[in-house]
Structure 1
Amino acid sequence: MNPRLPEFQTATATDEQKTILNEILSGPRGNLNGPFLGWIFSPQLAQHAQRLGAFCRYQTGLPLRLSELAILVTAARWRAQAEWHIHYPIAMQAGLPADIAEAIRVGAEPTFAEQDEALIYAFATELYETKRVSDATYQQAVGRFGHTVVVNLVGLLGYYALVAMTLNVFDMRADGQNSLPFAE
């Protein structure tokens, strides 16, 4: 790995950067793992993105298992090494079956026992593949989750695509990441 951004130094951080760092570290994440040390070079982006991310990760109205499934679909679509590395264990702890995650990672069609999981996968996959969601999938999602959660799901997918792009463009890896889930 050859990071494209200079190493961030707290000692030379601006007041604006320090404020954002403190906000991230005191929030629900409690760490800077992920895109944050990239975004910190644009403190205004970092501030808005990390707040959106906290909402998308913790307040969408989806159970954690389904949010993490959507994040893994995004990580696999973007082949985002750090995003997968960070979210795979969270998804496992939240109850997503490992065989579903593995199928997603290798680009195979997962077999779902849970309808909610199949619906989240179909929604995310349709959106990424066709740049739209069919009327049938949309109606199923709204019928199951309601309009607000479907809006939040779209936000979650968009946010984690931004995370994946950031991680990929700047060759960022997760703390402690020694292996890559996707071939480079």
Structure 2
Amino acid sequence: MGFPMSKTKRFPQLSLEQLDPAAQELGKEILAISSVGLGGPYNVMLRSPVFAQRMKSLLDYLRFNSSISTRINEFAILIQARIWTSQVEWYAHYPLALKAGLAQSVADDLKANIRPRNMQADEAIAYDVCMQMCQNHQISDELFAQAKEILGEQQLVDLIAVTGTYVTVAMLLSLGEEPIPAGKPLPFPEK
């Protein structure tokens, strides 16, 4: 059961100048890497500066230093964007996933809410792990063995970390009803 989204953001957009002096350096770091500036999840996160700093550190690890490839990392983020119908998450990460080498057909199948066809072996494992974890809150012994063989232990742990973290990001975006940039088409048109 979904609730209709309001027409305005729940949290007024913060600017760098509005941040607490202790959070301004964090704001500058965010502006250096974010495709949505201080918008999106950052606008919500910055209401809790200590959380925002720690979350940004986690996001930095997951996006830039994870043991899994950028292609699989971005695919895992898109999986959560699709599950959550997260407009901002999809808007921000779809081009990053394609740039990282995810086939457009795989991303487009996911967007259409079908199991992507023609996935590479590591993509299929990542998809199955992420989906089983979200749907069943666990994975089967068979899938665990396959994932461990294809990804290895650290990559499997990092896959779970990225997919779980981007559930949090999707929830923050939903809480704040954060929009995509003005004038851009919605990835998931509202019905």
TM-score by length of 2: 0.88
- Please tell me whether the aligned partners of residues 76 and 130 of structure 2 are also in contact (alpha carbons under 8 angstroms): yes
User: Residue 153 of structure 1: which of 156, 159, 162 is its match?
Assistant: 159
Q: Give the 3 Å change call, closer, same or farther, for CA 65–33 of structure 1 in structure 2.
A: farther
Alignment partners' CA distance in 2, 1:127 and 1:108: 17
Decide whether the 8 Å contact of 1:3 with 1:170 is kept in 2: yes
- Counterpart in the other structure of 1:112: 118
2:45 to 15, 29, 39: 39
What does the per-residue CA deviation read over 1:100-151, in whole Å, with 9 as the maximum and x for residues that have no partner? 1111112112112411111111111111111111111111111122211111
- Residues 82 and 177 of structure 1 are in contact (CA less than 8 Å); yes or no, is this contact kept in structure 2? no
* AA partner of residue 174 (structure 2): N
* Residue 96 of structure 1 pairs with residue 102 of structure 2: yes
Tell me the distance in 2 between the aligned counterparts of 1:125 and 1:105: 14
Change (3 A) 1:177 1:117: farther
Residues 109 and 116, structure 2, Cα contact 8 Å, conserved in 1: yes
Q: Deviations over 1:71-110 (max 9, x none)?
A: 1111000100000001001111111111111111121121
Name the amino acid aligned to 1:44.
V
| 81, 88, 104: which one aligns with 1:82 | 88
Distance 1:75 1:94, change over 3 A: same
Distance, in Å, in 2 between the alignment partners of 1:122 and 1:92 is: 20
Partner of 2:127: 121
User: Within 2, Cα distance between the matches of 1:113 and 1:8?
Assistant: 40
Residues 1:180 and 2:178 aligned together: no
TM-score after normalising by structure 1: 0.91
1:17 matched to 2:13: no
Question: RMSD in angstroms over aligned alpha carbons?
Answer: 1.8
**In structure 2, how many angstroms separate the alpha carbons of the residues matched to 1:113 and 1:3?**
37
Aligned equivalents of 2:183, 2:142: Cα separation in 1: 40
State the Cα deviation string for residues 30-58 of structure 1 (Å, max 9, x = none). Answer: 84353112111110110011110111112
Q: State how far apart, in whole Å, the 2-side matches of 1:122 and 1:78 are.
A: 17
Between 1:11-20 and 1:54-63, the stretch displaced more is 11-20
Stretches of 4+ moved more than 6 A in 1? none
SS in 1 for 2:81: helix
Q: Give 1:72's aligned amino acid.
A: L
- CA displacement at 1:177 relative to structure 2: 5.9
Contact 2:87 2:188 in 1 (8 A): yes
| Aligned residues of 2:75 and 2:102 also touching (Cα < 8 A) | yes
The answer for the alignment partner of 1:5 in structure 2 is: 11
| Partner residue in 2 for 1:131 | 137
SS of 1:111's equivalent in the other structure is coil
